[in-house]
Amino acid sequence: MIIHNQENHVTTFINISEFLKHHLQGEHSVALNTILSDVIEACKNITVVIDKGALTGNMGNLGSENIQGEVQKALDVITDDIFIKTCQQSGYVAGMASEELVDVIEIADNNRKNGQYLLLFDPLDGSSNVNVNISVGTIFSILKSSNKKPELSDFLQAGTEQICAGYALYGTSTMLVLTTGNGVNGFTLDVDSNEFLLTHPDMQIAKDTQEFAINMSNYRFWREPVQRYIDECLQGEEGDRKKDFNMRWVASMVAEIHRILIRGGVFMYPTDSKSRSGKLRLMYEANPMSFIVEQAGGASTTGTQRILEVKPSGIHQRVPVMMGSKNEIERIAAYHQAKSKRK
């Protein structure tokens, strides 16, 4: 427990370790507590690396590509190494999968003596923004493993099977937001104590919004239901919706979803004629963020299906993503359904 006194105003915060001790219940509580301790340590270590920025010469491209065909930043590789190394300590993780690597990561026998869980992660979401000093993040998801020596097929579970998901946001402050299926809570890293403190308990997404986030440069490639929705937003008070909307676009999913958790909104990365399967990864981005959004009272969809119910066909599978304020997501899904019925 940490007490801050600013101009005689006393604020008491509970640290994340104390919170988890009381919050985690049921069969996974001991394992999750231990696994999350490693995740927390990894995020602290990544914070240090990112904060040093250009001073360490790690802000540029490596000249190589990851499995997604994306140009890797030096920080992509550094943060991936930090996460893999740090999160093997608990003994409960039987295997890992990273957005940056082709194959699943095997855990040495001596590091998985209690191995029953799988950890999937995107070590540095939004890394294209690092050299312009815009917020980036880490996304993670935890699944139960049915095999102490997991194979690829063990990872291919629907998002409904997640037992924990979260993200770290490296911005004006470092925040860790997570859910274990019992609400969403946000913690801010206090640099003095080097502790994550509960600053955003029981985060909720407003059901209605007047804000959307989408890459407008792709408008001509979108399918008709998405164009219809965005057209209505842009028409504002003069259109059918009779209200004005604001547009935001950070190009970092963690930053976009965090904004929605704080003040509502919709984040959209739909399929289009350039990327017919979608752009974002189901296992590392769409599933964990959908779990968080739904636990905060929001909704998520591919347009035709609830994201958490998508059956994975591959570890690096991509899907269209639309998530955020529930009433807006239901409207977007209805537009897709109406288009399907007209075919």
The C-alpha atoms of residue 222 and residue 215 are separated, in whole angstroms, by 11
Average pLDDT in the chain: 91
Predicted confidence at residue 267, as pLDDT, reads: 98
pTM above 0.85, yes or no: yes
Dihedral sign of CA atoms 61, 62, 65, 68 in order? negative
Predicted confidence at residue 74, as pLDDT, reads: 84
Residues 6+ apart with CB under 8 A from 283: 97, 120, 141, 155, 312, 315, 316, 317
Predicted confidence at residue 62, as pLDDT, reads: 57
Strand segments, DSSP code E, in the chain are 2-6, 9-13, 61-65, 71-73, 93-98, 105-106, 117-125, 136-144, 164-170, 174-179, 184-190, 195-200, 211-213, 246-248, 266-269, 280-281, 299-301, 318-319, 321-324
Q: Which two tokens stand for residue 96?
A: 């890992």
Phi and psi at residue 326, in whole multiples of 5°?
-60, -45
CA 58 to chain centre: 23
Domain boundaries, the chain: 2-200, 211-342
Contact 47, 40 (CB under 8 A): no
Of the candidate CATH numbers 3.90.1150.10, 3.20.20.210, 3.30.540.10, 3.30.70.20, the domain formed by 2-200 belongs to 3.30.540.10
Predicted confidence at residue 340, as pLDDT, reads: 72
Predicted confidence at residue 33, as pLDDT, reads: 96
Q: What is the mean pLDDT of each run of 10 residues along the chain (343 residues)?
A: 62 93 93 97 95 71 58 84 95 95 89 90 89 90 92 96 98 96 97 96 97 96 96 96 96 96 97 88 98 98 97 97 98 91 68
Predicted confidence at residue 147, as pLDDT, reads: 86
The C-alpha atoms of residue 229 and residue 233 are separated, in whole angstroms, by 6
Surface-to-core class of residue 144, CB atoms within 10 Å of its CB (0-12 exposed, 13-18 middle, 19+ buried): middle
Q: How many residues does the chain have?
A: 343
Of the candidate CATH numbers 3.50.40.10, 3.40.190.80, 3.30.365.10, 3.20.20.30, the domain formed by 211-342 belongs to 3.40.190.80
Predicted confidence at residue 109, as pLDDT, reads: 82
